[in-house]
């Protein structure tokens, strides 16, 4: 029985950490959604909050660009989903890289991170979004 109690404690610790991050980051996601509402396809951006049901929350700018903050029960991490464009034809001629390849970057996060560090995660997503090739209308305001 002590083993099951230990698992429940670690799962609740991960969920508590996620809830602390949600309280700080959801207002940031909502501000980005308001700012980018005229720059994305209709129906986006989507701010989602499923901490109680699924253990995650985040934002989608479109199906290929999103930031998830989630827990596996023990730790909390951020997953940035982007499209990897082939913009480096001359610098990597000996490597095979396909255009529009989905890319996921996962890194640990915690509620001990500063607001600036959390905003940098969002800024990284927006940087990839704003530098898509041939989509200048999405960065014009």
> Residue 140: inside a domain, yes or no?
no
- Of 83, 21, 84, nearest to 58 by C-alpha is 21
Q: Give a yes or no: residue 114 inside a domain.
A: yes
Identify whether the C-beta of residue 24 lies closer than 8 Å to the C-beta of residue 76.
no
CB 64 within 8 A of CB 57: no
Q: Are 1 and 32 in contact (CB under 8 A)?
A: no
| Residues of the domain holding 9 | 4-86+98-131
Decide if 82 is inside a domain: yes
* 58 found inside a domain: yes
- How many other C-beta atoms are found inside a 10 Å radius of the C-beta of residue 46? 15
pLDDT for the residue numbered 94 = 60
Q: Distance between CA atoms of 22 and 123, rounded to whole angstroms?
A: 17
Is the CB of residue 107 less than 8 Å from the CB of residue 61?
no
139 found inside a domain? no
Residue whose entry in the numeric block shows the structure tokens 């095979």 = 96
Q: Is 93 contained in some domain? A: no
DSSP 72: -
**Global confidence as pTM:** 0.77
The answer as to whether 127 is a domain residue is yes
pLDDT of the chain, 141 residues: tens digit per residue: 445 444 444 457 889 999 999 999 999 999 999 999 998 999 999 999 999 888 899 999 998 899 999 998 889 999 999 887 665 555 555 666 666 666 778 999 999 999 999 999 999 999 988 887 655 555 555
- Judge whether 92 lies within some domain: no
Q: Cβ distance 78 to 28 under 8 Å?
A: no
Report how many domains make up the chain.
1
């Amino acid at each position: 029985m002590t083993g099951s109690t230990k698992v429940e404690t670690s799962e609740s610790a991960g969920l508590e950490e996620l809830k602390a991050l949600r309280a700080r980051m959801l207002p940031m996601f909502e501000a980005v959604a308001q700012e980018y509402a005229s720059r994305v396809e209709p129906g986006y951006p989507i701010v989602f909050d499923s901490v109680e049901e699924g253990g995650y929350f985040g934002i989608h700018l479109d199906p290929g660009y999103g930031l998830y903050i989630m827990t596996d029960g023990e730790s909390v991490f951020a997953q940035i989903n982007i499209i990897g464009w082939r913009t480096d034809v001359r610098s990597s001629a000996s490597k095979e890289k396909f255009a529009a390849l989905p890319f996921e970057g996962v890194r640990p996060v915690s509620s001990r991170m500063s607001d600036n560090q959390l905003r940098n995660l969002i800024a990284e997503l927006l940087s990839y979004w704003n530098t898509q090739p041939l989509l200048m209308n999405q960065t014009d305001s």
